[in-house]
Amino acid sequence: MTTQIEPTCVPSAIRARRSIRHYEPTPLPEDVLEELLSLTVEAPSSWNVQARSVVAVTDEAGRQGLADATGGQPHPTEAPVTLVFVADSQAWSQDLDDIWNRGQESGAWNEQFVAGFSQASLEFHKDLEQRGLLREYAVKDAMIAATYAMLSAASLGLASSPMNGWDEGEVKKVLGIGDRDELHIALLLPVGYPAETRIHPGRRPLPRHAFRDRHGRGYARPASA
């Protein structure tokens, strides 16, 4: 039976989302998981190179391996799926013709734009390589995708909890990429139905972390607004 998905709006998802540590054992229906992944990969990326991927770990052995890699934290074993975000610092050097062709077929880009854009992208990434910044840029793209996943999960009535405390080498072994030096783990994100309720702990007032024009100048509406 197909699960009926009724997404909430983005502002509601942002305000409702909390980091959940304990989950019901109920598996995610395949159509829900597929929709979550589909929304996740809609995330933008530098030069549209899409130098990130997401692995949905659902099998028991894999989830236990991720829990071990996090020092025994319960989220990966309790949640029916843990999304692992992988950054590829060499994606730019691979064959990207499918990306350029898709842009043309969709009508977003013309042939002249693709020729200039693809060459500029190559030069940009070669400069990053010289400055040792390829990993940093790929991880940024992966983190944008992870944020899309968190908000998409909340909009679908699912809970999640971003995890940043893990052994990268052990996580890569679980995914079968232990020998891939160009691949890097950006984030673990357990996803499932919550088995607990968490109260919003609150945030500092807007002017404390949101500024206008200059850093440290607390945001405030202009007097004429």
| Euclidean distance between CA atoms 29 and 87, whole angstroms | 27
Q: Where do the domains of the chain lie, and which CATH numbers do they carry?
A: 10-209 (3.40.109.10)
**CA 200 centroid distance within chain:** 22
pLDDT classification of 149: cutoffs 50, 70, 90: very high
Backbone angles phi, psi at 190, to 5 degrees: -65, 140
Is pLDDT of 193 > 70? yes
Per the prediction, the chain carries an average pLDDT of 93
* Residue 24 Ramachandran class (φ > 0 left, ψ -120 to 50 alpha, else beta): beta
- Enumerate the β-bridge partners of residue 191: 81, 160
Q: What is the pLDDT of residue 184?
A: 98
Contact (CB, 8 A) for 158 and 36: yes
Q: What share of residues in the chain are helix, strand, coil (percent, to 5)? A: 45, 15, 40
The model's pLDDT over 49-105, given as tens digits with 9 standing for 90+, comes to 999 999 999 999 999 999 999 999 999 999 999 999 999 999 999 999 999 999 999
The average pLDDT across 196-220 equals 91
Determine the pLDDT at residue 2: 38
Name the nearest CA neighbour of 32 among 157, 147, 134, 200. 157
pLDDT digits (tens, 9 = 90+) for 115-128: 999 999 999 999 99
Continuous H helices in the chain: 10-16, 30-40, 60-69, 75-78, 97-105, 111-130, 134-155, 168-175, 206-209
Entry field: residues in the chain? 225
